[in-house]
């Protein structure tokens, strides 16, 4: 298992394909401006969605070749935004050098006309990689009010004008936060827009997670220290009447105030154990009422009772297999975000199974 091949979307995509579903769905199509959709919850709320594909499959409207990428597309109006990367030849390691070789290449942001597949503009910038699985960017663009925000695999955070692609501002995590190395599998957690803030996992001392001014790129707040930031994207939920920014990293899961970065509560992860390095905290935590569910390949699954103000979280259950070779208990997710519905948890286990857990007990159904 190479967990963080990981991150986000189209696995080494070389051909971007758009399919025609129904006239009604196409005419009334909702925007999909970020990872997991308008509300960042993975729910498709459009009317007129097909329940069954035609016998020969839905007709293809157009196909566009792109370079390798793990990035998912974002769609707003008649424009589709996606990132990819054209790589050069990898450098060679020197004797005794255990670091990853630097691979020259360019990251690229494409803007494509959703009606025709025509490329409207592209922005290309030099971006050598020194990460594992160097096929391309991981994080899906975020689009809002005529701006496109992107995060490259080497920590290049950029803001572009959606109409022209011109770069409005940029930050470089390695340089700006004095980081020695990127995460093993690159920056992968999809940026999160909240009001005037663009929230990203960064890394380093007291800056594991940082909020930037979406207009200028200026830092607004920073919080938490952890040796590794992991790959799970942050998300905001209203719990007990309070908006909470949920951030899961290899040492624990925490809730912060989205406005200030103040830590509201934390829970160590794994429970009663030592984190594995590198750890594969990838799938986004899911919230159901005041319960929070997380799942990872090595540590299995855990359900927390989210506390009211001033209290500590409670571990309702923690299912971990006794044998690393079987992973026969709980849900050992590698990358795919699970679904909670009607008292059940549905997810794809790293052992190669679609599994269902009882939300109340964690038992496999």
Residue 273 binned pLDDT confidence (cut-offs 50, 70, 90): confident
Q: What is the CA radius of gyration of the chain?
A: 20
Q: Is the pLDDT of residue 295 over 60?
A: yes
Residue 242 binned pLDDT confidence (cut-offs 50, 70, 90): very high
- Alpha-carbon distance of 220 to 259, in angstroms, equals 9
For 64-110, how does the pLDDT look when each residue is reduced to its tens digit (9 = 90+)?
A: 999 999 999 999 999 999 999 998 866 554 444 446 678 899 999 99
With contact defined as beta carbons under 8 Å apart, do 83 and 107 qualify?
A: yes
pLDDT recorded at residue 88: 80
Residues whose CB falls within 8 Å of the CB of residue 57, separated by 6 or more in sequence, listed in order = 19
Residue 45 binned pLDDT confidence (cut-offs 50, 70, 90): confident
Q: Which helix (H) or strand (E) holds 18?
A: strand 15-19
If DSSP codes are grouped into helix, strand and coil, which group holds residue 53? coil
Of 204, 342, 185, nearest in space to 278 by CA: 185
If DSSP codes are grouped into helix, strand and coil, which group holds residue 3? helix
Where do the DSSP E strands lie in 77-208?
79-87, 105-113, 119-126, 142-144, 147-151, 156-161, 167-172, 192-194, 197-201
What is the model's pTM?
0.90
How many whole angstroms from its chain centre is CA 302? 20
With contact defined as beta carbons under 8 Å apart, do 3 and 280 qualify?
A: yes
């Amino acid at each position: 298992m190479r967990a963080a091949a990981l991150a986000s979307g189209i696995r080494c995509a070389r051909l971007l394909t758009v399919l025609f579903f129904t006239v009604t769905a196409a005419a009334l199509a909702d925007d999909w401006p970020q990872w997991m959709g308008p509300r960042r919850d993975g729910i498709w709320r459009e009317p007129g969605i097909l329940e069954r594909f035609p016998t020969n499959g839905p007709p293809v409207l157009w196909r566009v070749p792109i370079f390798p990428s793990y990035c998912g597309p974002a769609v707003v109006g008649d424009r589709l935004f996606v990132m990819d990367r054209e790589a050069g030849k990898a450098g060679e390691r020197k004797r005794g050098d255990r670091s990853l070789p630097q691979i020259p290449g360019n990251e690229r942001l494409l803007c494509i006309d959703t009606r025709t597949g025509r490329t409207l503009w592209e922005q290309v910038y030099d971006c050598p990689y020194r990460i594992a699985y160097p096929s391309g960017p991981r994080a899906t663009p975020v689009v809002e009010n005529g701006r496109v925000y992107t995060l490259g695999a080497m920590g290049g955070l950029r803001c572009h004008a959606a109409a022209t692609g011109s770069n409005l501002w940029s930050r470089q995590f390695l340089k700006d936060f004095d980081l020695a190395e990127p995460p093993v599998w690159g920056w992968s957690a999809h940026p999160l827009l909240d009001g005037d803030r663009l929230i990203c996992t960064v890394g380093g001392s007291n800056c594991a997670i940082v909020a930037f001014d979406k207009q200028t790129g200026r830092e607004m707040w920073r919080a938490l220290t952890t040796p590794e930031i992991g790959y799970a994207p942050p998300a905001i939920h209203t719990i007990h009447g309070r908006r909470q920014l949920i951030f899961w990293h290899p040492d624990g899961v925490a809730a912060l105030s989205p406005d200030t970065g103040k830590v509201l509560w934390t829970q160590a992860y794994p429970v009663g154990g030592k984190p594995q390095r590198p750890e594969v905290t990838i799938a986004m935590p899911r919230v159901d009422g005041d319960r929070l569910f997380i799942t990872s390949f090595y540590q299995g699954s855990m359900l927390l009772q989210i506390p009211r103000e001033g209290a500590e979280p409670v571990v309702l259950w923690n299912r971990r297999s006794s044998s690393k070779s079987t992973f026969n208990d709980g849900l050992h997710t590698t990358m795919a975000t699970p679904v909670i519905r009607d008292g059940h948890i549905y997810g794809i286990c790293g052992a190669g199974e679609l599994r269902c857990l009882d939300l109340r007990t964690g038992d496999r159904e």
